[in-house]
Amino acid sequence: MNDFSGITIALSKGRIFEETLPLLAVAGITPAENPEQSRKLIIGTNRADVRVVIVRASDVPTYVQYGAADLGIAGKDVLLEHDGVGIYQPLDLKIARCRMCVAVAEGFDYQAHVQRGARLRVATKYIKTAREHFAAKGVHVDLIKLYGSMELAPLAGLADAIVDVVSSGNTLKANKLVAVEDICLISSRLIVNQAALKLKREMLQPVIEAFVRAVA
Ligand code: AMP
């Protein structure tokens, strides 16, 4: 547990931070700085008892799991890869929406490969999600872990397919890739450290309720 006696909220820069600002506003919380402009990793707010820590999107569940943050906002894509231990997930914030897809290079006949029972090479950052998806379909795959720019993998001959999140589809199109299968819908969720919810309930409850109102 962190030794800040107030509330620590873990957020990632970019889309999640921007789309969380209006939700924080409903809870009467305004961050003092924009992480895009500041290099600070701990940002104060208009409330002395609330601070924000800026972490990589995939690290948000870890900060909340170990109580270094009481609250966090993380994409379902990230949460699916995490074991979820010690984390309570009370609310779909319906922000940063996209879908998790299987995509291949234009001209690659994915369905024919699947029907033939061919072994596919799949590159992804989302190993657990991909493993579960292909196992449920009975498709044999070799998974290759990547940390970024998955779109390059089929073009460079590293993999037959990728599993990635798709929003507008512009990135796929620009790289001559096509989505061939949807795995699930993704949006960001509020996550809460389970111990903090008990120990700091009086402080956390109004913030959680404000998020519920903001989403409604
Ligand atoms: P797109 O709008 O489909 O061109 O999205 C471009 C890239 O942004 C995708 O390849 C993803 O890596 C990333 N992306 C888009 N939406 C999200 C989201 N909601 N959460 C995480 N990453 C996203």
| pLDDT of res. 50 | 98
Q: Give the mean pLDDT of 137-159.
A: 97
Q: Which domains are seen in the chain, by residue range?
A: 7-96+187-215 (3.40.190.10), 98-185 (3.40.190.10)
| pLDDT of res. 2 | 73
Is the pLDDT score of 103 beyond 80?
yes
pLDDT tens per residue across span 57-99: 999 999 999 999 999 999 999 999 998 899 999 899 999 999 9
Measured in Å, residue 165 CA sits from the centre of ligand 1 at: 6
| pLDDT of res. 3 | 79
Alpha-carbon distance of 58 to 113, in angstroms, equals 32
Alpha-carbon distance of 65 to 115, in angstroms, equals 41
**Mean pLDDT, the chain, integer:** 96
| pLDDT of res. 42 | 97
CB atoms inside a 10 Å sphere around CB 109: 11
Ligand 1 pocket check: which of 17, 171, 176 to mutate, most ligand atoms within 8 Å of Cβ? 171
Taking the CA of residue 170 as reference, the ligand 1 atom at the shortest distance is 4
What residues have CB less than 8 Å from 123, skipping those under 6 apart?
143, 144, 145, 146, 150, 153, 154, 158, 159, 161, 162
Closest Cα partner for 8 from 187, 188, 189, 192?
A: 192
